[in-house]
A = this chain, B = another copy of it.
Amino acid sequence: MNGYRDLRVALLGCGSVGAQTARLILEHGDELAARIGARLSLAGIAVRDVDAKRDVELPRELFTTDAERLVQGADIVVELMGGIEPARGLILQALQGGADVVTANKALIAAHGPELSDAAEQVGAQLSYEAAVAAAIPILRPLRESLAGDHVTRVLGIVNGSTNYILDRMDRFGDSAEDAMRVASELGYLEADPTLDVEGYDAAQKATILASIAFHTEVPVDSVYREGIANITAAQVEAAKSAGYVIKLLAIAERLTSSDGVDGVSARVYPALIRRDHPLAAVYGGKNAVFVEAEAAGELMFYGAGAGGAETASAVLGDLVSAARRHVIGGPGIPGSLHAELPILPVGEVTTAYQIMLEVHDRPGVLAAIAGLLAEHGVSAASVEQTVAPGSDGEGRAALVIGTHQAREADLAATVDALRASEEVLAVTSVLRLEGRA
């Protein structure tokens, strides 16, 4: 189509991330081709057992158990199997064959990142692994590229959603450690072996990767100092709370000068107190965030989902598009070109919820009249709250706060005009839109 040439993509693994990645490649094919200037052709999906993937809604003919053969002749290999072997061997095979590689495999990168990076560098191939840290959150690319002219001094990451969920429950609902852990387990937030999360092993792998990218230095995972959250008590959480802090499990990478003057790097994981007004304190539930301090840029934070099939696949696709573009330099689909050209819609078409504040006569029938007026214009009230109007002195005036359901801006504007004209209404004192809900 459109004369685009094909780039052969080999997908290794078809768990939740793999299946979502395949789906995005197939469903967004035309759009990706326009952005890349070449078509991503899914050459196959290597799995251990094809029958086990019977329920996955992907074309059957894509599945194969012969990963090695699939890797041969691929332009880009996407490794989403997890674990060390055979992932490591297949990635080396791909790189040695000149293919670019995208992986989400944090354990592998934490253990063998330098070996794999060297292999890529030797043949001029690209190895990228944005999805290995904090899933959907773009953090490695900003650290590597956006801050390439700056000096990163410290990285503080909430990079394990399970432990953040547990600590958040203890903080917000007063759960005991045991209760919070049980709920997290029931919701499937904990790995099969919960010590990977709770003892900070998972966070340590991410600390290794963050430190190596932030400081251009090989940081072995066994050099990461590690304390988990197993010993954090409800009493500690409560004491932190009353002192204006919250306890978060942090993966920390830091430039440091030792007591005898050696300039070096520290990577560590432990639960720490964070002030309530620090941006990391507002990272609730299973979310992830990485807070970066740099000499010139100051404080930055990157926030989002740290797990999930689709979320992780989004980061994999970002790396995949970037790798694919390297094959098409100078071709069509130059990054940032305006290929969609959608129409600009007027604000009247916007749909959002509203909060309207009114001053009204405090007499029977007012509420009914106003509710009727809203309904007439297709605006539905979600809540109505009546308070005494400021300065009313009980003289028959009341203040109403109306929260609406989602409504069209044009309908709302007509409603507000009608409210202003209504005999029941003394004044429309505030109209504000409500944003930030899904």
Contacts and interface: CB of A to CB of B under 8 A. Distances in A.
A212 interface: yes
Contact of A294 (B130, B145, B217, B314): B314
A64 to B, nearest CB: 23
A357 B313 contact: no
A335 B145 contact: yes
A297 B277 contact: no
A424 B341 CA distance: 74
A273 B432 contact: yes
Contacts of A28: 149, 151
A1 interface: no
A293 to B, nearest CB: 7
B436 A280 contact: yes
Interface in A274-291: 274-275, 277-284, 291
Most buried by B among A146, A223, A262, A265: A146
A227 to B, nearest CB: 9
Interface in A220-236: 220, 223, 225, 233, 235-236
Interface string A320-348: 11100000011000111111111111110
A405 interface: no
Chain copies in the assembled complex = 2
Nearest to A354: B273
Contact of A311 (B137, B235, B266, B297): B297
B342 A264 contact: yes
A421 B354 CA distance: 62
A311 B150 CA distance: 10
A250 interface: yes
B141 A235 contact: no
Interface in A230-263: 233, 235-236, 239-240, 243, 245, 247, 250, 252, 254-256, 258-259, 262-263
Which are the 5 A-B pairs with shortest beta-carbon distances?
Answer: A149-B317, A138-B146, A225-B347, A297-B314, A216-B340
